[in-house]
Structure 1
């Protein structure tokens, strides 16, 4: 049996209450006492009992994270950031895969309520009224990640999707491309669908390039949908020298179809993606893309949530920077 909190208190020559306050960052002791207690904890290898700590501070030291698709490379990137911060601050993470159409969201919100998580990071989905009502009843802090809501103003962390899509389209234009197709995400998706289309169209307009409806096709952000969308573009027989895909996975699917049709990237067709996932580096040729700082976004969302949990104060939303990562999938036209 390992050492107990009483053993630590006895060796440090302080009360059990003082050890408890040190463990939970509560006031009521000197810096000298704190150092002494922490030194004894390290020497004895004492591991605080999570249940006991929960009884003291009324918290479970766990946070819930809701993802529409846990298996996606995007989710993996932000989850690494979330777990990095959570574990650094002695919290566990419960990950819930809500499915892309949100069918399991209400079920998992109930599960997280029963688990008495201290806070929730809500990722990528649209914040519906039923979700908001369930979260409000839980009365715990919530941070939105890679999504936002005007109607339900939870603090959020995200990239400006419209501006990022504008940057991707403008990059192609400055490379000499005038006939630019777009493979968008889910049609009428207000989070990562519509804003990226708006950015694409606005860039075309600002550079005097007419929008062609037949050069806009839709996918679901996944690899397979990128392949299907690229086939649709080729079937239109429309001329285009470049494709902006609203995710790296769809871009990879488009490149694969181009290869099967004997279309060389970037010699015959330029492709730019969105996200800067690992697949962008693995693509042949390596994919030029708009980078979202996924790991940093996850870290920041967790930091914001834990600050709200620990202080009870609201935090400000954050727009994260995007950058163009140049690789070998875009050619300069003369």
Structure 2
């Protein structure tokens, strides 16, 4: 079995240098890091995690607790988190849909150097976790705790600026198609939509705000399709705003089947980028939420806490961006 001495010989550096690189200690140059990692790969050397844990008290492992919703709908968030950890020689363990008691119990076991908790619905258990001697970061939820690191996206702004855009074009009856009713994304996006309507003196209608039932969460494309087909029978709307790219795909298919053209008949904006939303003509205008950057920054904050004992609490909120692709237009006189 290859040893650290084999890696040092192959890389042409000292055993101490190899140890520093593999344990993410000291400040070796990027050139040296690359040479050592390439040598380790070439000789087939792998770090014995248990041995390292016994010697240093570190497992070099972080745990990601996330609702399965984020893995399915925002895979770039989880992928960027894992890649960022890997670049710093940390392993990741992914645990889906864990309840607060399970999260607390697992973190008390000492298996992990730190944890990332994605959009926890119940935040009261964080008081218990804060008492444990472990670093953790919350991403996707800007909880009201000054002693906990958080990295979030301004979904409220996404709902607000997209609604403002549609109102500026004369739209008042704006159909809002929302995602999972308990997610922070949905709650904040809806809040931005409602504030924009209120500031412009437009009375909102609950009938124009549609959220999926639990059974619909398994097929959001179908939910988007059926929402349009059912709403068009009883209500008049001139614009559609979706908080999910998957819901948007279904809604676009329904509008196309009905024969309503975008943007001449209906203006359309969706949160989230997707190649599917570029297959229409015109392409769908979108609100881009930086999920990948949120994952990277959350992991960076956590690793700085672990490796540098950075005790300064970080409260980071990333901004969304509106990209106009031509799927919105001023409301026609006949539809005002």
For the aligned pair, the TM-score class normalised by the smaller chain equals: 0.7 to 0.9
Q: Tell me how far apart the structure 2 counterparts of residues 226 and 108 of structure 1 sit (CA, whole Å).
A: 33
Structure 1 residues 70 and 62 mapped into 2: Cα distance closer, same or farther (>3 Å)? farther
Q: Tell me how far apart the structure 2 counterparts of residues 198 and 289 of structure 1 sit (CA, whole Å).
A: 18
TM-score normalised by the chain length of structure 2: 0.80
1:1-334 to structure 2, matched below 5 A, reads: 1-2=1-2, 4-7=3-6, 19-21=18-20, 23-26=22-25, 45=42, 47=45, 49-51=47-49, 52-69=51-68, 74-98=73-97, 106-107=101-102, 110=105, 116-130=111-125, 132=126, 135-136=129-130, 138-151=132-145, 153-187=147-181, 189=182, 191-219=184-212, 222-235=220-233, 237-282=234-279, 286-314=283-311, 315-333=313-331
**Residue 86 of structure 1 contacts residue 93 of structure 1 at CA under 8 Å; is this kept in 2?**
yes
Q: Tell me how far apart the structure 1 counterparts of residues 33 and 201 of structure 2 sit (CA, whole Å).
A: 68
How many residue pairs get aligned? The number is 322
Does the residue aligned with 2:142 lie in a helix, a strand or coil? coil
**Residue 64 of structure 1 contacts residue 95 of structure 1 at CA under 8 Å; is this kept in 2?**
yes
Q: Tell me how far apart the structure 1 counterparts of residues 13 and 210 of structure 2 sit (CA, whole Å).
A: 70
Q: C-alpha root-mean-square deviation of aligned residues, in Å? A: 3.4
**Residue 136 of structure 2 contacts residue 302 of structure 2 at CA under 8 Å; is this kept in 1?**
yes
Structure 1 residues 170 and 138 mapped into 2: Cα distance closer, same or farther (>3 Å)? same
Superposition misfits of 4+ residues, deviation over 6 angstroms: 9-13, 34-38
Q: Tell me how far apart the structure 2 counterparts of residues 17 and 40 of structure 1 sit (CA, whole Å).
A: 11
Does the residue aligned with 2:261 lie in a helix, a strand or coil? coil
Q: Which moved more, 1:245-254 or 1:42-51?
A: 42-51
Unpaired stretches in structure 2, ≥5 consecutive residues: none
TM-score normalised by the chain length of structure 1: 0.81
**Residue 7 of structure 2 contacts residue 39 of structure 2 at CA under 8 Å; is this kept in 1?**
no
Q: Tell me how far apart the structure 2 counterparts of residues 193 and 304 of structure 1 sit (CA, whole Å).
A: 25
